[in-house]
Chains A and B, each alone.
Chain A
Amino acid sequence: MIYRESGQYKTSYLNDSQIFPIKQDRYAVLAFIAFAFLAVPFIATPYFFSAILIPFLIFSLAALGLNILTGYAGQISLGTAAFMAVGAFAAYNFMLRVPGMPILLAFILGGVCASIVGIVFGLPSLRIRGFYLAASTLATQFFVVWCLTKVPWFTNYSSSGVITAQEVKILGFHFNTPEEKYLLVLAIVCVMALLAKNMVRSTVGRSWMAVRDMDVAAEVIGFKIMRTKLTAFAVSSFYCGVAGALFAYCYVGTVEPDAYNLDLSFRILFMVIIGGLGSILGSFLGAGFIVLLPIVLSYIVHVTGLPNSVTSNVELMVFGALIIFFLIVEPHGLARLWQVAKEKLRLWPFPH
């Protein structure tokens, strides 16, 4: 009953192409964002910030990046963590070597470096696709981590290969506590999600989806396949790069190249698949699912009082089973489930 769009007439095309065309959605999202900015800092505990909210937001951003490439442009990538590593280490080096470098600019430049690497490693996509492309992006993964480990300049000749992220300071304000870092990450993620949404509802997004769905037709219509694919790689890697920098600066603090391993790439790929390919919202839902599930599971298993060795294995098994379950029941991910629920709600309680 409350979720009705009757009476909401769109009188201009601008009106009709809003991000949330239905009024209730718009208010709900605004309320949710306001809640995240204004209320959450007062109610959440430091553990909640640093173990759940911050990683959730950072992984959402990385998943968003991968979703642009895989979900929207249809190019499978297993190199997400590598692009994150490039972003993190580039930001670190900019901060280290350029005096007075503002941190936000360092994050952006980190993203730009990741973009450049993304474009270079995206070149094979012009010739190969599908699993073969996935295999070639795997090369990115190994090459970048190897390179960061082998060239000590990147880690500022640190003997253990570990970098410690510099203090996060914007206009004299220090982001030290988890709460402050949370707010910074939240702001960045909100802005970047908005930009991504704008891209996918404009021509650039349509060009990605066109190449994904039918590349011959896309070419005949006038899209340039090469430019489209490389733009997708660049934008996607930019998002992953910024996520990687945030991962280092706002989440773990001290980081080695190996933190950005293949395992992380796969985790982000799972987030995208479970959340929903080709959906901005799906990136967030998927990240939430993957971040929260182990925590919830370990809590449940913990309550049962089984020995530790059993619990960690049970956790893994349930996790795997749930992923398979989701893929079978809803291959289009959580975002699709959400959409179905909304469509049902529009008619509720009179389904006919």
Chain B
Amino acid sequence: MSERKIGDVILKAENISLSFGGVKALTNISLDVREHEIRAIIGPNGAGKSSMLNVINGVYHPQEGTITYRGEQRKDMDTNAAAQSGIARTFQNIALFSGMSVLDNIMTGRNLKIKSSFIEQALWIGRARREEMENRKVVEEIIDFLQLQHVRKTPVARLPYGIKKRVELARALAAEPNMLLLDEPMAGMNVEEKQDMCRFVLDTNDQFGTTIVLIEHDMGVVMDISDRVAVLDYGKKIGDGTPDEVRNNPEVIKAYLGAH
């Protein structure tokens, strides 16, 4: 892993605070992500990990703090702007389009690449047809990459859980993101599925140089694959650093194992 070139900081969240009514979800959190790295966010349930991802891609708007993405500083992200600037994500509870086939689901990930108007698409002429085919080609490459060939035309609702998670990753990858936010990609999987998923995450990072921000509960996975780990607890950041540093951080040990 060490031979991968980790670049400069591309995303920097500073002093983010987010609350819903009286409930403080995030308190004064600062987090940076470097290009091409795998950055994990861990923490007990309700620590604010998912909220942090939602802030990064604009689903939630923090009351305080700033986000700088690729040199552009703003108060909060907007989901569309995030998608446009190459941030893709998966969700903790699978958020696939259940009425569509695997292929169509992944094709939706390409939507920003499609420029033809709906009238051209209705007539199925020229640009619309060409774009459809070009994007289909990219999607097929992703299907190959994630080994989803056998379920290509299956409606998503009929698939087992582990495959659904993979389809969701495929949909996110279809956008050719610079940064990929993965919200518990391995939750509820068995060891084999976890291994597969780990391999896909590492391969993605390796082959496409995608920056990955990952929330995960499985410590083994996190410590193995991530370059740096941030630890949240009760909406506050209690640790940050390489897996080894985090593992030996007394605050983190306290949060995970209880006070000693």
Contact = CB atoms under 8 A, between A and B. Distances in A.
Contacts of B18: none
Contacts of A209: 97, 99-100, 104
A159 interface: no
A212 B133 CA distance: 25
A339 B128 CA distance: 28
Interface stretch (A50-58, A107-115, A195-203, A286-294): A195-203
Nearest to B83: A222
A209 B103 CA distance: 13
B54 to A, nearest CB: 9
A13 interface: yes
Interface in A192-249: 195-196, 198-199, 202-207, 209-210, 212-214, 216-224, 231, 235
A212 to B, nearest CB: 7
Contacts of B95: 214, 216-217
A98 interface: no
B122 A220 contact: no
Nearest to B87: A220
B171 interface: yes
Contacts of A213: 96-100
B219 interface: no
A6 interface: no
Contacts, number: 101
* Of listed A198, A212, A214, A222, residue having the most chain B CB within 10 A: A222
A122 interface: no
A202 B108 contact: no
B136 A210 contact: no
B20 interface: no
Interface in B76-107: 79-80, 82-84, 88-89, 91, 95-100, 104, 107
A214 B96 contact: yes
Contact of B99 (A198, A217, A220, A278): A278
Given A198-B121, A231-B118, A221 B99 contact: no
A221 B123 contact: no
Interface residues of B, number: 39
B121 A202 contact: yes
Nearest to B130: A14
A17 interface: yes
Nearest to A192: B122
B80 A17 contact: no
Interface in B126-158: 128-129, 132-133, 136-137, 140
Interface string B109-131: 11110101010011110001100
B84 A212 contact: no
Given A17-B132, A217-B96, A220-B79, A206 B121 contact: no
Contacts of A214: 95-98
A202 B132 contact: yes
A14 B99 contact: no
A17 B136 contact: yes
Interface of A is mostly: helix
Given A203-B111, A213-B99, A222 B122 contact: no
B37 to A, nearest CB: 22
B175 interface: yes
A222 B112 contact: yes
Contacts of A12: 133
A108 to B, nearest CB: 13
A223 B124 contact: no
Contacts of A14: 129, 133
Given A206-B100, A221-B111, A198 B122 contact: yes
A195 B59 contact: no
Contact of B91 (A13, A217, A223): A217
Contacts of A198: 121-124
Contacts of A206: 97, 100, 104, 107-108, 111
Given A14-B133, A202-B128, A217-B95, A222 B80 contact: yes
A13 B100 contact: no
Contacts of B59: 216, 220
Contacts of B132: 17, 202-203
Given A14-B133, A198-B122, A202-B124, A221 B83 contact: yes
5 contacts: A198-B124, A207-B108, A213-B97, A214-B95, A220-B79
Interface of A: 12-14, 17, 195-196, 198-199, 202-207, 209-210, 212-214, 216-224, 231, 235, 278
Interface of B: 57, 59, 79-80, 82-84, 88-89, 91, 95-100, 104, 107-112, 114, 116, 118, 121-124, 128-129, 132-133, 136-137, 140, 171, 175
In the A-B complex, list the 9 residue pairs whose CB atoms are closest, starting with the nearest.
A222-B83, A202-B121, A217-B95, A213-B97, A204-B118, A198-B124, A195-B122, A13-B136, A222-B112
Given A205-B121, A219-B79, 6 more contacts: A198-B121, A203-B116, A214-B98, A220-B59, A222-B111, A222-B175
